[in-house]
Amino acid sequence: MTDSTGATDPAFDVIISERRHLLNLAYRLLGSLAEAEDAVQETYARWYAMSREQQKAIESPGAWLTRVAGRVCLDLLGSARARRERYVGEWIPEPVPGRAEWLGGVARPGAAGPGTGVGDEATDPADRVTLDESVSMAFLVVLEAMTPAQRVALILHDVFDYSFAEVATVTGRTPAACRELASAARRRVRAARPAAAEAGFSPATQAELVHDFKQAWQSHDVNALITLLDPAAVFTADGGGLAPTALHPVHGATEIARFIVGVARHLRGSATLVERLVNGRPGLMVRIGGETTAVYAFDIAEDRITRIWAVRNPVKLRAWAEE
């Protein structure tokens, strides 16, 4: 890339190489791939709005980009709350296909200055969020109940391993305040996602449950579905007012099973159910006439399905168009 004088920008490759990291970060903060891409674009726009001299004065472009992306996301989270209050029905984070390259993003200790978390606090490693867990639908849903600042502190520190001093430059608060924000966020995660449930997660078990769920759906077998579901299971759907679906969560194994069979009978065999990774975990994709019309994400505990999230809003299914 060249600047306005036609000179080659020597930092271009370095700056562009940060895109995957920024997209990983922004998606986890915003729960929307489309909004994450907008946030990354805005971050780069701010970089290139500076003069060459201003860019050269920045010691670590990666740190600068991360800080700006974090601030952009923090602002977007504030406005998103107002938008979601007007959303038709339930709002669910945007699901992403398991093959998406950025989904496998890695933490980058030291990429933004200290970034190692050393000396931040005596955090039990068991309390830290892993990269794999941080893109699961269950975890993203828990994030929605947090304040924007709590969300930013938790993701930057516990997932991407940035120090609280650096988190403070994003949130505009003191490192001590950011430490408390992350602690409060962890308490929310523990309350919503008991350690026993996460520790008991098995990809193989979930894949088997999802396969059996698919078979029961296709055979319209209410009893089979009930045996797969936890008695207190919850089904939540997101149509955004653009696709018909349940406007409120459906509670209980029996009610969910009846609802699923009702959906299956309504489709009358026109739908193809495909087992796919959804946010890194076994799930289902529903296709009709070559078009993806729904994506189902699942959560399990003690060999039973405890949560089902069905995204039908076509705006949130763009990443699945060619799946």
pLDDT digits (tens, 9 = 90+) for 222-279: 999 999 999 999 999 999 999 999 999 999 999 999 999 999 999 887 899 999 999 9
Q: With contact defined as beta carbons under 8 Å apart, do 281 and 203 qualify?
A: yes
Say yes or no: 28 and 147 in one domain: yes
Say yes or no: 73 and 165 in one domain: yes
2 in any annotated domain: no
pLDDT digits (tens, 9 = 90+) for 95-151: 999 754 444 444 444 443 333 333 354 455 555 666 677 889 999 999 999 999 999
Residues 154, 319: Cα–Cα separation, whole Å: 26
Half-sphere exposure of 26 (CA within 13 A, CB side): 29
4 in any annotated domain: no
Q: Closest by alpha carbon to 322, among 290, 279, 297, 293? A: 290
Point out the domain boundary residue: 152, 169, 192.
192
User: Which pLDDT score is estimated for 124?
Assistant: 53
Say yes or no: 134 and 40 in one domain: yes
Q: With contact defined as beta carbons under 8 Å apart, do 322 and 218 qualify?
A: no
Say yes or no: 151 and 28 in one domain: yes
pLDDT digits (tens, 9 = 90+) for 308-320: 999 999 999 999 9
For Cα atoms 259, 261, 262, give the angle at the middle one, nearest 5 degrees.
Answer: 60
Say yes or no: 202 and 170 in one domain: no
7 in any annotated domain: no
Point out the domain boundary residue: 155, 175, 192.
192
Write out the residue range of the structural domain in which residue 62 sits. Answer: 12-192
DSSP for 77-122, written as a single string: HHHHHHHHHTSSS---PPP-BTT-GGGG----TTTTSS-S-TTT--
Number of domains in the chain: 2
User: Which pLDDT score is estimated for 119?
Assistant: 39
pLDDT digits (tens, 9 = 90+) for 190-236: 888 765 455 556 889 999 999 999 999 999 999 999 999 999 999 99
Half-sphere exposure of 289 (CA within 13 A, CB side): 2
72 in any annotated domain: yes
Say yes or no: 173 and 202 in one domain: no
125 in any annotated domain: yes
Point out the domain boundary residue: 166, 192, 218.
192
Say yes or no: 153 and 247 in one domain: no
Domain CATH for 243: 3.10.450.50
Cross-strand pairs, 309: 236, 297
Question: What percent of the chain has a predicted confidence (pLDDT) above 90?
Answer: 69
